[in-house]
């Protein structure tokens, strides 16, 4: 997962705050809580998103090609039917 500037800044601020406080294990607990909270969200990495976007583009292109083929075949069938009639 690529770094998130907002999350990095938030973690740095929490780290700075904790380094000045007597509660040394709060940072560890906050990180664990944040990790758990983010893992409950159904998030994907940017790489996974880009891969799925590329696959979707390929599928759309293939469907469009198949639609053109079907249309051409339908036109040929219509022309053959009209020639018989």
Q: Tens of pLDDT along 11-41?
A: 888 777 767 666 667 777 888 888 888 788 8
Indicate if the alpha-carbon torsion angle 55, 56, 61, 66 is positive or negative: positive
Domain ranges of the chain: 1-42, 44-85
Q: Which residues of 56-82 are buried (b: 16+ CB within 10 A; e: fewer)?
A: eeeeeeeeeeeeeeeeeeeeeeeeeee
Residue 9 clears pLDDT 60, i.e. is over it:
yes
């Amino acid at each position: 997962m690529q770094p998130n500037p907002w999350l990095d800044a938030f973690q740095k601020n929490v780290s700075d705050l904790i380094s000045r406080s007597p509660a040394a294990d709060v940072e560890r607990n906050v990180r664990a809580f944040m990790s758990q909270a983010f893992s409950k969200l159904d998030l994907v990495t940017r790489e996974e998103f880009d891969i799925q976007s590329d696959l979707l583009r390929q599928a759309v292109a293939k469907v469009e090609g198949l639609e053109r083929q079907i249309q051409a075949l339908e036109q040929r069938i219509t022309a053959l039917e009209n020639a018989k009639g």
